[in-house]
Structures are given as C-alpha cells and as structure tokens.
Amino acid sequence: MRRRRSTWDGFSYYRPEPPKAVKGGIRARSQRGAFASQWWGRRWIATLEGFSIGARLGRGRSYARGGQVADLTIEPGRVTAAVQGTRSKPYAVEIRLKVLTQAQWGEVLAALAEQPIQAARLLAGEMPPSFEELFQGLHFSLFPARQDDLKTQCSCPDWSNPCKHIAAVYYLLGEAFDGDPFLLLKLRGMEREALFARLGTAGSGPREREVERAAETAEPLPADPAAFWRGAPAADGPWIPGAPAPVNAAAVKRLGPFPFWRGREDFMNAMERLYNEAAAALARDPGETPHS
C-alpha cells in the first residue's frame, strides 16, 4: 500500500513505497546500461520504449534489475508472469502476441531454405538481420509492429497499460530473447525442435542438402550422455584426452542458454567453466571421474 500524506492546502498525495523483496526472483543480468546486446533483443525492447509510457519504463527497469519478477513462462502466443509489488500477493501479468499460422511458417521456412548460410546461422543460435527482412518480404511481422499487436494486462490497480509490472516483464523478455532467439520464435508459434524438423523439409532438394552441409560445422550432441565427458576417438588416430575442440565447450553451447537463470553467475559462463575444468581434469588423469 502507499501512504497518504496531507499538504498545507488540504490536498493529499501518495508517497510510493518500495516493493516487497522477492526470494529467488528473476534478476536481470544487466544492472546498468542497455538490457540487450544482440540486434533482435534490442529490437524487442525498442518496441516497448516506443510506446511512450513515461516514468513507468524507469520503474519497470528497476523492477527487472531488482528481481521483482517471481516467475515467467513463455508459450506460443502468450507470456505469463508473477511480479511482486508493494502488496503481499504478486500481481499477475499476461502478454499476448498473435502467432503465425502453420501456412505462414511454411512460407517463412521455404524462403529460409533458399538462403542456406542464413539458415545455418539460425540453427547455430544466431538470428541474422536478414531474417527480419525475410518476414517483411512475405508481409509478415517478426516483432510487434504496433502497440495494438500486443494484448497486455496486469492485476495491479494502475490504470496505465502497460504498467511498470508489464514493463519489467518486457525487459526480461528482451534479455531472454537476446540469449536465445528461439524463445522469440516460440512466442510467435514455432518451437525450436519443430523448426529444426521442418527446415529439413522446406524448399527444394538441393537447397536442403546445402543447408545441411552448412550446419554440419556445429558439433552434434552425443547420443550417450557419458560420451559428453569422455569424448570420442579421432577419425584418423587414437583419442587424446583433453584435446581442444574446434569450438570451446561446443557441446554445452549446443544445449542453449537456460531461460530466466536465477544464479548470480551467467549460466553459459558457469557451464563453460565447469566443462573446461572437467576437460583439464581428464587431461591430467584419464581415469578420473569429473565432479563439481
């Protein structure tokens, strides 16, 4: 609640109180400056900041950086979140964005299959700038084009929409998309696994093979979990424990970032460090069992 204070002229105003602290809340990785570093993450946040909601943007950033978002879930066409404010019960936030139809996604993937290098970059977890242009060429929109494209609501008493609670969720989404662009595609109706499967059947046969060849540079995940630690024999000689991989911690990176990681250390950085420590331990003693 906010406390009422009286002024000398008989009018009253409300002094805002700080929100209640959240244990284990989702805290933004960025504690100052921009929330996103990749163009698609910045593009998502720029959409929100173009809505002219004034001071609520600043309070939304503070909520995101302070860990006031207790829970956040991304589904096709829908984001739900719980944001802790000044009241004891968190506010319920919902953001809806229309998904593309299966037919529309078919057009997108068929066009993407005609650009094998760009498709390979997307499969490796990087969204090329031409991907948005591809959508525009088909008269679709990857990002919200207008404020009306987003249907947002919050259970708080603030009359403004979007409010600071919705803004906080929006900023965290920008960071999440920045680390994993497939979450943005999921919101628009295309899951990561479905995209991988359908991309292999879109377009013409020669283009399919070209996409596959371009994507072969990424290290596949081992079918046997134990092989993650012990490695595999080289094609032209005996296996040498601890031999450097073409991409540092490639198997870890192929897994993708953990969405809305709550740890103080970045998830991918932590996993890469553990991966490298395990590789170094095996190099010293091939019979040693890695552990944390």
Q: What is the pLDDT of residues 226-266, one digit of tens each?
A: 554 454 444 444 433 443 334 455 555 545 555 555 455 55
What pLDDT score does 146 carry? Answer: 81
Tokens of residue 169, six digits:
């969720």
What pLDDT score does 255 carry? Answer: 52
Give every residue of the chain whose pLDDT is below 70, as ranges: 1-16, 52-53, 200-272, 275, 279, 282-292
What pLDDT score does 167 carry? Answer: 92
Using alpha carbons only, what angle is made at residue 95 by residues 92 and 97, rounded to the nearest 5 degrees?
160
Whether the model clears a pTM of 0.85, i.e. scores above it, the answer is: no
d(CA 147, CA 152): 10
What pLDDT score does 122 carry? Answer: 83
pLDDT in tens, 23-63: 888 988 878 878 888 899 999 988 878 876 677 888 888 99
Long-range contacts for 130-136 (Cβ within 8 Å, ≥24 apart)?
132/40, 132/43, 134/108, 135/108
Buried b (16+ CB within 10 A) or exposed e, 45-57: bebbeebebeebb
> How many CB atoms are located within 10 Å of the residue 75 CB?
12
CA atoms within 13 A on the CB side of 252: 18
Contact at 8 Å (CB) between 178 and 36?
Answer: yes
